[in-house]
Structure 1
Amino acid sequence: MYNILIVDDHPIVRAGMKSILNAEKGMLTLDEAQNARETMLKVSSNNYDLILLDLTLPDNQGLNLLKDIKTIKKQTPILILSVHPEEQYGIRCLKAGASGFISKESAPFELIKAIRKIQAGGRYISPTLAEIMATQIFDKDGPRHLRLSDREFDIFIGIAQGLKVTELAEKFKLSPKTIYTYREHVFTKMGFNSNVELARYANSNDLIV
């Protein structure tokens, strides 16, 4: 018996994952959550063998929820399922403690394969993410966006998507002044002189969904 918590804000997605898992012998999905608050309440009062976590929820952004879960249940494996490309968040999730990262566009068999790998005590890294990691090993400098902190990266992606400072401030619950500070850090670390340069870099590196 394998107890899994499915975290996603879309009922159809949760139902689909439950259907896939319930069809597998030896798998039992017991619980689900639709937002960060509900997730933390359930994680605090229950023990799960695995958490399937959507990276983007209405009341939480980026890697925050992953990190929050790990502070109270460090040993609980977390598999990230996301619409974001692996190039964008895959390595960051692994560094933050995730046991694997796969795209929501993946076939059902890949989800099962990932869960089986994690269930056996390993980590699941897709071929795409493995290639990215291998490139970083042989490229000592690595892509410039890896120089950014997680919050700086969130702001970087928001700017690349065309969000204004006020929109970013509302999205991340920060003051406009703080957003400007993060923006300055991004430009300094990555050597940009304009939002156009930033957006061009993001698109050329496939960082925009």
Structure 2
Amino acid sequence: MFKVLLVEDNVDFRHSLNKSLMLCFPAMVIAESADGKDAMVKIDYFKPDLVFMDIKLPDENGLNLTKNIKAEHSDIAVIVMTANDAPEYYRAAYQAGATYFIDKGSVSMEKIPAIVEAILGSKVCH
């Protein structure tokens, strides 16, 4: 069973991402979190294979959360997302341990499944 955690405070974006993933990967189990505190709790008990992490969250910086996740669970892939495509965000995401970086303004929901498959390959259940 393949598990994904969506950490995103924008409920519309989070639900769109969830729907896009479920359409392509019906066997995937998806959990959602709107803030960093809840995300870290879910990381420990849900044990996702992949985390979609927004940079700007109401209570925490997604880059700090990414560092914490990778320090404690190096096997979890993290896709950092932001609405700001500034090069410094891109560099900071990879320095924090991100597996991939997504500019929410320039990537379509249709491309997300291909990104997931590229990162996780045969781990993804269809």
Structure having the higher Rg: 1
Aligned counterpart, 1:119: 120
TM-aligned CA deviation for residue 120 of structure 1: 2.1
Aligned counterpart, 2:8: 8
Give the TM-score of the pair, scaled to structure 1. Answer: 0.54
Provide the alpha-carbon RMSD of the alignment.
Answer: 1.7
**1:5–1:32 CA contact under 8 A, matched in 2:** yes
Aligned counterpart, 1:19: 19
Cα distance change of structure 1 residues 25 and 37 upon mapping to structure 2, 3 Å threshold: closer
Structure showing the higher helix proportion among its residues: 1
Within 5 Å, give how 1:50-199 maps onto structure 2: 50-61=50-61, 63-105=63-105, 106-120=107-121
Structure 1: how far apart are the matches of 2:95 and 2:77? 13
**1:6–1:32 CA contact under 8 A, matched in 2:** yes
**1:86–1:102 CA contact under 8 A, matched in 2:** no
* Partner-residue secondary structure (3-state), 2:93: helix
Q: Which runs of 5+ in 1 are unaligned?
A: 122-209
TM-aligned CA deviation for residue 10 of structure 1: 1.6
TM-aligned CA deviation for residue 48 of structure 1: 0.8
> Percent identity between the aligned chains?
25
* Partner-residue secondary structure (3-state), 1:23: helix
Structure showing the higher strand proportion among its residues: 2
Structure 1: how far apart are the matches of 2:37 and 2:6? 14
Structure 2: how far apart are the matches of 1:25 and 1:62? 25
Query: When the two structures are aligned, how many residues end up with a matched partner?
Result: 121
Q: Deviations over 1:139-185 (max 9, x none)?
A: xxxxxxxxxxxxxxxxxxxxxxxxxxxxxxxxxxxxxxxxxxxxxxx
TM-aligned CA deviation for residue 94 of structure 1: 1.3
Letter in 1 for 2:112: L
Task: Select between 9-18 and 27-36 the one with higher mean Cα deviation.
Answer: 27-36
Q: Deviations over 1:24-62 (max 9, x none)?
A: 045524211110000011112221110011111011125
Structure 1: how far apart are the matches of 2:62 and 2:24? 30
**2:54–2:62 CA contact under 8 A, matched in 1:** no
